Every structure is written in C-alpha cells, then in structure tokens.
Amino acid sequence: MGKSVENCDFCKLWLAPLLSVLLLLGVIEPFTGCRSPASSTPDGVLKSELKVKLTGKEVWVDFYLPRGVKKAPVMVVAHGFSRSRLNMAGWGGLLASNGFITAIPDLPAWADHDRNSRAISELLDRINSKTLVTEPEPIGAGALMGFSMGGLCTLLAAATNGQVRCWVGLDPVDAGQKGAAAAKGLRIPCAVLQAEPSRCNAKGNAKRMVAGLSGPLFALRVQHATHTDPEQPTDWLAELVCGKAEPKRHAIFERYALAVLKTVFFGDAPSLATLAAATNDVGVKDVSTRALKDFKY
C-alpha cells in the first residue's frame, strides 16, 4: 500500500518563510508536513494502511490492532494543523499495545475543523460497524483523542457522535469559541493535557474548553512542556518554531492519557489511582479533577 510522502525541500524553501509571516500575523499552530522519523511498531501490534473515503475524499488511515484480543474499544487519533498521521504513529503503537483498536487518519481538510470533525466521526462509525476492522471485534463504542487542531476536531466530533465514551485533548487549540461551545454539551469523561502557554497553542486557550466541560473531568498542565511534546514523533521544524520536545515530558502525556482511557474502558484500578495521585506528581501542575469515580464506560 502507498504512503503519503512529504517533501522537506518544499518545507524549507516555501513553507518555512510562510510560517514566519504567519507567526508575525499571530496565526497559531505553525506546523508543517515535513517527513518525521518512522516509529517502530511494538510487539503484539499489527499495523496496516488503508485508503478510506471520508467526507467524500480518499485519505490514508493507519490501523494499529492489538493481537490476541477478541474484542476491543476503538480509538481515533487526530493530528495537528499541517501535520499528518505519521506524527501520531507513536500513539498508535502505544494505544494498541494497551488493548485499543487504534485508527489514525490523515485529516481531509487543511483547516476546515467542521469537515475534519465529520471525517473523524465517520471513521469511528465505520470501524464500529465492522466494515473496516473485524479482528479484534470493535465493541461498538470508543474514544477520540487529538493533538492541537486535532484536539478541537475530535472535541467537535465527540459532541455529536453518541458512540464516543471519552475525549482526550493533547494540548488542544480552540478556534474562536468553537471548542468552548462544543464542550458545554459533553457529559462523557474528558481529559485535557496541556503544555505551557505559548504562541503555538494560542497562549493555552484550551482553558476555555476546560471551563466549558461539565461532566467527569481530568485536566492538568505538564511542567515546562512545549507544544511539540505531545507528538510522537515530531520533527526539527516543529521544534524550531514551537520548542524542543523532551522524551520525559512526552512520557507524562502518555502516562495520564493511558490512565484515563484504561480507567474508562477497563475499570483499571491502578490507572484510577494514578489519576487520583496526580497532584503529587512534580512533573505536572494545575491539576483539576471532577467526579473521577464516574470515569467508566
């Protein structure tokens, strides 16, 4: 099967100067599509690629499937602005190795958040209808997780798709008040894991989403984290614009995202204890929790 191939010479010769102009104008999320190092697939995980038509456009979707599992919840993971599924590949392997059918699409639109949210919702529905994945068998419900712009798009999808049982935002970035407005309608368990406020996350405007959420909530800020830390893998140009990524900080995003998801879908007691003890973690700050006992499917 084919792969989407990004041209870094294009990034350096055209997109990097454009990003500088956009930054001067105050435009957020200045990411590019430069090729990122490939992430290895963990043992016990089967990776495949498939072209899927979403909102009328064929896009590549990477599937990460846990082996030796009969049934599993579905995760759809969304990348950030001008990024691709390749930048979230590490999450695919991690989530699948923890028992989740994981799909990571190339979003069909560059900056049409509503279209991207519809694509995410369509993908979740098709997986749960067993037309794209049959083994392991999807349980008919799932979670959405997104980074940066992908955090906003997954939030919009979660607000309209009744199969979504949990939403996780990885330093999500709002556009206008779209995310904050959608958050008010969510009653499912939600988690918002933020980096430090910066130009690249619109000065941490995800706090508006957090303020709007009224259901079970887990939110925190990763100490000293940059906007590139949630990605896995990231690349040099993203780090140049938005700050150096650090594996230890990325591991904190992984730890709490997994703890939320395993608590919701598997009723995992150690994961719930991890969430409850987050205020004692020196690597995080601004921890906010509500109704952790209701973090369950």
With b for 16 or more beta-carbon neighbours within 10 A and e for fewer, the 149-169 pattern comes to bbbbbbbbbbbebebbbbbbb
pLDDT of residue 40: 79
Low-confidence residues of the chain: pLDDT under 70: 1-39
How many C-beta neighbours within 10 Å does residue 294 have? Answer: 13
Report pLDDT for 205.
96
| Predicted local distance difference test score (pLDDT) of residue 25 | 35
pTM > 0.95: no
pLDDT tens-digit profile of 278-292? 999 999 999 999 999
Q: Residues 152, 208: contact at Cβ < 8 Å?
A: no
- Domain at 8-294: CATH code: 3.40.50.1820
- pLDDT at position 297: 81
pLDDT (0 to 100) of residue 6: 31
Q: What is the per-residue pLDDT for 296?
A: 87
| Structure-block tokens of residue 49 | 């690629």
